[in-house]
């Protein structure tokens, strides 16, 4: 099993103990899909804020290492950050899973683009360019 899949499964097991329903809403993306996301808030849907800082080939979603979660209220509403309490739910979830899942990195801990729904296999000291080169050449990334 690829390391990211193992960590994602451990993540979901830990998240099952959260007070709200947690679902993985986005996993691996092609470079083209990443470019389309990058365009949001820049060249398309310019009324919105950018949703990613990464172009195709610059995101760990492109290498099968990352997943985004959605948290849902009991009544089914997707907690998308539009209501008070949404942000706290994502922080509380991280507080629950981080201590019990090894090799997990949370986008909420980032400083250049805080991304609370984002989790990924910790890539350690490897720069994205290094991970990309390994991915594109078919070599093990870890
Ligand atoms: Zn993400």
**118 Cα: distance to centroid of ligand 1 (angstroms):** 4
pLDDT in tens, 100-121: 999 999 999 999 889 999 999 9
Alpha-carbon distances of 84 from 90, 102, 139, rounded to whole Å: 12, 30, 44
**What pTM was computed for the model?**
0.92
Decide if pLDDT at 72 tops 80: yes
CB atoms within 10 A of CB 141: 19
pLDDT in tens, 36-52: 999 999 999 999 999 99
**106 Cα: distance to centroid of ligand 1 (angstroms):** 9
**Level-2 CATH architecture, domain 3-136:** 2-Layer Sandwich (3.30)
Q: Across-strand partners of 79?
A: none
Mean pLDDT throughout 64-75?
A: 96
**68 Cα: distance to centroid of ligand 1 (angstroms):** 5
Contacts of 131 (CB under 8 A, 6+ apart): 60, 63, 65, 123, 141
Q: Any idea what DSSP says for residue 68?
A: E
What CA dihedral angle connects 80, 82, 85 and 89, to 10 degrees?
Answer: 10
Give the start-to-end residue ranges of the domains of the chain: 3-136
Kindly report the backbone phi and psi dihedral angles of residue 51, in degrees, each rounded to the nearest multiple of 5, phi listed first: -105, -5
**110 Cα: distance to centroid of ligand 1 (angstroms):** 12
Pick from 41, 39, 4: nearest CA to 24: 4
**59 Cα: distance to centroid of ligand 1 (angstroms):** 8
Average pLDDT of the residues of the chain: 94
Q: How far apart are CA 106 and CA 118, in angstroms?
A: 6
């Amino acid at each position: 099993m690829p390391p990211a899949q193992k960590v994602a499964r451990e993540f979901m097991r830990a998240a099952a103990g959260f007070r709200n329903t947690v679902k993985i809403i986005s996993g691996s993306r092609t470079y083209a899909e990443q470019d389309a996301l990058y365009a949001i808030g820049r060249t398309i849907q310019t009324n919105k804020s950018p949703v990613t800082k990464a172009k195709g080939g610059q995101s760990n979603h492109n290498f099968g290492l990352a997943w985004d979660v959605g948290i849902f209220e009991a009544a089914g509403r997707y907690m998308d950050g539009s209501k008070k309490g949404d942000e706290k739910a994502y922080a509380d979830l991280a507080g629950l899973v981080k201590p019990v899942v090894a090799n997990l990195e949370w986008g909420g801990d980032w400083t250049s683009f805080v991304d609370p729904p984002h989790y990924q296999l910790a890539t350690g000291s490897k720069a994205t360019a290094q991970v990309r080169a390994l991915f594109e050449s078919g070599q093990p990334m870890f």
